[in-house]
A and B are shown apart, each in its own frame.
Chain A
């Protein structure tokens, strides 16, 4: 999956919870850009709620959208391959393929994919880094372009990660020493730095191995299992048959009878009239 990233630049986000003021301009920008209603949006806010004792109150928040994993669980799960990881690191969604099975919603360890519940022919709702906006020559996704405090930054993935570490290094007292997204679910293209532990903002704490990898370990075994079962069963069948014929050869009876009546029910007329 990630072998070809030497030739193609990958992009990603750096999101700083200390800069987010919960103004929700990113939500509006996203909803306008992608023409989705605000309540089933591709981006939302995670927050700690108000903590501490008056007058020392604090509250932290951060915008939250698709992490664009290096090895995305949703891409692995999608029945019809509607979700794909593009060369530039975007987890894209093909609305014309999707069958609405919602497996991606359960597979995603970050609970990202949303669904148009109230539509007759619904689709998955999910951040695609404003791929069409980028293709049109705009420099950044709508959320990053709109953010008034630069809490959301967009750029080359390696540079985003470097900046994340730099911020923590320069301000070790301000930030928790953890870049969320660097190792989560096998690594992502969205990096968070935060003054409070990420669990307190309601970020999922998953493993560092992508569940897509675990999943492939099992699904890629399918052909081998199929081959083994088919050959094993054939072997058992022929072995027992051989054995039975050998036994019949010793006794030499009832053999002719079985040879002409494959499944006696079909060839036994008086059984049919029995009812």
Chain B
């Protein structure tokens, strides 16, 4: 009976779901083969490039998922309640982002059969140990933050007040954990002074990673809102979006000054124009991800226009991806002329995981009250009703 209900439910889904599910299944099948066959046959990783596109993907995805902690901080800690409607869709995106990262990390581990060893054999000096712990703990907190969405219409809705009561301390713990792992992903590369090109190598890498993740997070929230305007017919009020992107030029401004300042202090500024391909990558990263968004979002017109917001956020996200790929791949200097480009199976597994993520997000959005507090796009639209839901979520702190 229950199974029949599920079958009927599946039949009622649109064809898009099945296409995405097929891509996901194919990718995950390749993943299973990778676990069976080892890394040599299924990847182009080598002694000179022991990490590849998977790590670059992980770094980018964690930066994007930074939206969850940025927004949680703005709403709960800084009391910008107007932004509250964006919290749930963003927290879900964050949770799914982190889950994808965990799956890919699992693929990346040579000894995936021992993945739990990071829990029982700590090395407190290791940046990767810190990253693993923070991501594991933070994912748990994201599940907590998201649990009202799943519990609301269930028979367990009685625990909701208790969950609400502990939200603030957990949000603060979550933001702290995010600060730590967003930055320690940069710390990972502090030990690679001999490999990473000096335009990117810096003791300040953790700071750069953290700041850029704030901008990428905000960009992700707003880009997501615009996309869900078309896909789910739910979105954020225009003034909320405008307020979110208003922060971006400030964040990126801090980033730009610190980044150039660090190069100036270490006397490496001239490398910006004299390092051939590295200079091109570096300048592309700064122009696409930093300069263009600063200029775009300085205009009120852009901040209040959906397409403008999407384009500006797109630049931030593209620049962030390029930055993460540069640090973990393109700017790693070759050893003995050896370079790396991914094996098709590496890419296939990534595509499969991303498809799974898209599927998971769509299904949750379809079945659970994810967008409760966002506004419905009415045909006549533009007279978007201000939601009632933005009063004071933290009142239970007393």
Contact = CB atoms under 8 A, between A and B. Distances in A.
Interface stretch (B268-276, B304-312, B384-392): B384-392
A220 B76 CA distance: 29
Contacts of B356: none
Interface in B178-214: 179-180, 183-184, 187-188, 190-195, 203, 206
B203 A121 contact: no
B279 interface: no
A233 interface: yes
Interface stretch (A132-140, A163-171, A173-181, A221-229): A221-229
A250 interface: no
A265 B164 CA distance: 12
Interface string A69-90: 0000101111111100000000
A240 B59 CA distance: 33
Interface stretch (A28-36, A52-60, A95-103): A95-103
Given A106-B50, A202-B336, A225-B179, A211 B191 contact: yes
Contact of A102 (B38, B110, B165): B110
B194 A105 contact: no
A219 B392 contact: no
A108 B160 CA distance: 50
A99 B105 CA distance: 11
A53 B117 CA distance: 56
A82 B121 CA distance: 8
Interface stretch (A3-11, A16-24, A142-150, A266-274): A266-274
Contacts of A254: 391
Given A119-B38, A263-B148, A216 B125 contact: yes
A264 B391 contact: yes
Contacts of A233: 73, 77, 172, 175-176
B123 A79 contact: yes
A236 interface: yes
A237 B168 contact: yes
A50 interface: no
B41 A79 contact: no
Interface string B94-115: 0000000000000011111111
Interface stretch (B127-135, B216-224, B294-302, B345-353): B127-135
Contacts of B47: 105, 111, 114-115
Contacts of A257: 391
B342 interface: no
Interface in B112-164: 112-115, 117-118, 121-130, 132, 148, 152-153, 160-161, 164
A194 B73 CA distance: 58
A218 B389 contact: no
Nearest to B122: A81
Contacts of A274: 376
Taking each of A116, A123, A229, A272, which has the highest tally of chain B beta carbons within 10 Å of its own beta carbon?
A229
Contacts of A234: 172
B111 A103 contact: no
Contacts of B164: 262-263, 266
Interface in A195-230: 202, 204, 206-207, 211-212, 214-220, 222, 225-226, 229-230
Contacts of A204: 194
B111 A122 contact: yes
B230 interface: no
A107 interface: yes
A274 B45 CA distance: 52
Given A81-B121, A214-B203, A76 B109 contact: no
Contacts of A253: none
A261 interface: yes
B9 interface: no
A155 interface: no
Given A122-B111, A212-B191, A268 B79 contact: no
B231 to A, nearest CB: 15
Nearest to A205: B194
A100 B193 contact: no
A206 B333 CA distance: 13
Contacts of B396: 262
Contacts of B394: 241, 262
Given A109-B194, A204-B194, A233-B73, A98 B180 contact: no
A178 to B, nearest CB: 18
Interface of A: 73, 75-82, 97-103, 105-107, 109, 111, 114-123, 202, 204, 206-207, 211-212, 214-220, 222, 225-226, 229-230, 233-234, 236-237, 240-241, 244, 254, 257-266, 268, 271-272, 274
25 contacts: A77-B128, A80-B117, A80-B129, A81-B121, A99-B115, A101-B108, A111-B47, A120-B36, A121-B113, A122-B111, A123-B110, A217-B203, A219-B187, A233-B175, A236-B77, A237-B77, A240-B77, A240-B78, A244-B79, A262-B395, A264-B388, A266-B164, A271-B372, A271-B373, A271-B388
